[in-house]
Amino acid sequence: MQKYIVVTSLLLSMLAGQALAQNKDSQDERKPPRPEFSSIDSNNDGIVELSEFAALPHPHDDYETIFNHIDANADGVISEQEFNDHKPPRKNKR
């Protein structure tokens, strides 16, 4: 009888682990796509100013800190190169 309890417990643990992994994958799929530089550069001048960046919906309140982090050369604007360099790598799907 103890063997069955152990085997059942192991199977339930495995199933729970699989369910958690599937839930995490489905959460990753619900993340909004990263915006393209051209969609942020609303006046099409080739740079993104803080006002353009602030107009985007941000998951964090401190968008100015994020802007300054992307603005690698601290010139007060984000170039397309700075924007592309800042993009975090996409996770590989298994």
Q: With bands split at pLDDT 50, 70 and 90, how would you rate the model's confidence at 38?
A: very high
Q: Which amino acid is at 35?
A: P
Q: How far from the centroid of its chain's Cα atoms is residue 50's Cα?
A: 20
Distance CA 94, CA 92 (A): 6
Structure-block tokens of residue 32: 């909004």
Whether 32 and 57 have beta carbons less than 8 Å apart is answered as no
Q: What is the pTM assigned to this prediction?
A: 0.60
Whether 67 and 59 have beta carbons less than 8 Å apart is answered as no
Q: What is the pLDDT of residue 61?
A: 78
Which tens digit of pLDDT belongs to each residue from 62-76? Answer: 889 989 999 999 999
Structure-block tokens of residue 29: 């799929």
Helices (H) and strands (E) in the chain — how many of each? 5, 2
Q: Per-domain residue ranges for the chain? A: 1-31, 32-88
Domain 32-88: CATH class, spelled out: mainly alpha
Distance CA 81, CA 86 (A): 9
